[in-house]
Amino acid sequence: MNELRNNAVSEVAIDEASAGQRLDNFLARTLKGVPKSHLYRIVRSGEVRVNGRRAGPDARLAEGDRVRIPPIRTAQPANPASLAAGAARAGERLVVLYEDDDLIALDKSAGVAVHGGSGIAHGVIERLRAARPQARFLELVHRLDRETSGVLLVAKKRAALTALHAAWRAGEVDKRYLVLARGRWRDAKRVVKLAVHRYTTREGERRVRVEDEGQHAQTTFRRVTVWPERDPPLALLEAELHTGRTHQIRVHLTHLGFPLAGDDKYGDFAWNRELAKAGLKRMFLHAARLALAHPRTGEALAFASPLPPDLAGFVASLGAGVTEAARG
């Protein structure tokens, strides 16, 4: 790929690794550190051109296309030392569970955003790219909320990303989470099919609620351990996602009357404060397992992340509960 010049117009030839991307995503990947609002402005104004013509932010790029990029001026150019330091900090929090020529499976810690934006300078993907400057392609396959820990996939090739996205859409990926909820959970297994709808509050906050006319959403909950004699009673559950709607697990549990521990959006805020005093400082939602076919070879892959120390320690503090093994 051609080297960009900050003080002059640059023309970038699209190679195989970049082919198939949307124009806005390509610019965000190429012009690291430039606010997305600025990227959209230069696209809408026609300063960015593809093969000499104006293009929308959702235009798909093909191999051989030539993208004209205007001079980019930022108030504070990216500091390589700062970016490298951020990459080092991310390295302390990220564990590589698996890696080959096509993909990387990471074990993400809570409190780490998967990508920059909304006041976050560098997320997992930006820091991973900074730590691997020679990598030609690194893209998130899916997302986890900032406070969610666990398995996160990154594609190293465009073909792998496309194949993995297709597997996600076809429901061919086994995604399982561990959650702690309040309430007397009685079912060993419970399949929940409740449609959900995304909306925006008067204050501009994006939220999700159960609504008959919303998008189909299905979660299977399995009982792992329960503490029925505690006040309040608690349940450690495995949640298997059959669809991937925003905040699906959290909304389903709250609607059923089993708020998720530490959930500051849909949960019980007074209870959350009590949990914080007892040692649970964040939402108890952990991406524990992800299984799928390899995007190129078809080999069966399964990645597992144990409960991190903060969540495992809190579970231990609850004392002995009733497990499924004990019931059997």
192 and 302 part of one domain: yes
In a domain, 2, yes or no: no
Nearest CA among 194, 239, 196, 247 for reference residue 220? 239
176 and 157 part of one domain: no
| Domain encompassing residue 24 | 10-69
Looking up residue 59, the CATH number of its domain turns out to be: 3.10.290.10
In a domain, 75, yes or no: no
> Is the per-residue pLDDT at 74 higher than 50?
no
Looking up residue 108, the CATH number of its domain turns out to be: 3.30.2350.10
Of 50, 69, 88, the one marking the end of a domain is 69
> Is the per-residue pLDDT at 175 higher than 60?
yes
Count of domains in the chain? 3
103 and 220 part of one domain: no
Active site residue 101: no
In a domain, 208, yes or no: yes
Mean pLDDT, the chain, rounded, equals 86
CB 18 within 8 A of CB 158: yes
CB 151 within 8 A of CB 291: no
267 and 180 part of one domain: yes
142 and 229 part of one domain: no
The helix/strand count (H/E) of the chain reads as 9, 17
> Is the per-residue pLDDT at 118 higher than 80?
no
List the catalytic residue out of 15, 145, 268, 310: 145
Of 20, 46, 69, the one marking the end of a domain is 69
Specify the pLDDT at position 120.
57
Spatial CB neighbours of 269, under 8 Å, sequence gap ≥ 6: none
Of 23, 41, 69, the one marking the end of a domain is 69
Specify the pLDDT at position 26.
85
85 and 201 part of one domain: no
In a domain, 141, yes or no: yes
119 and 213 part of one domain: no
In a domain, 197, yes or no: yes
176 and 310 part of one domain: yes
> Is the per-residue pLDDT at 96 higher than 70?
yes
> Confidence class of residue 77 from pLDDT cuts 50, 70 and 90?
very low
241 and 120 part of one domain: no
159 and 176 part of one domain: no
Going 85 to 40 to 111 to 156, the CA torsion angle's sign is negative
Instruction: Give the pLDDT confidence of 213-232 residue by residue, as tens digits.
Output: 999 999 999 999 999 999 99
200 and 145 part of one domain: no
In a domain, 19, yes or no: yes
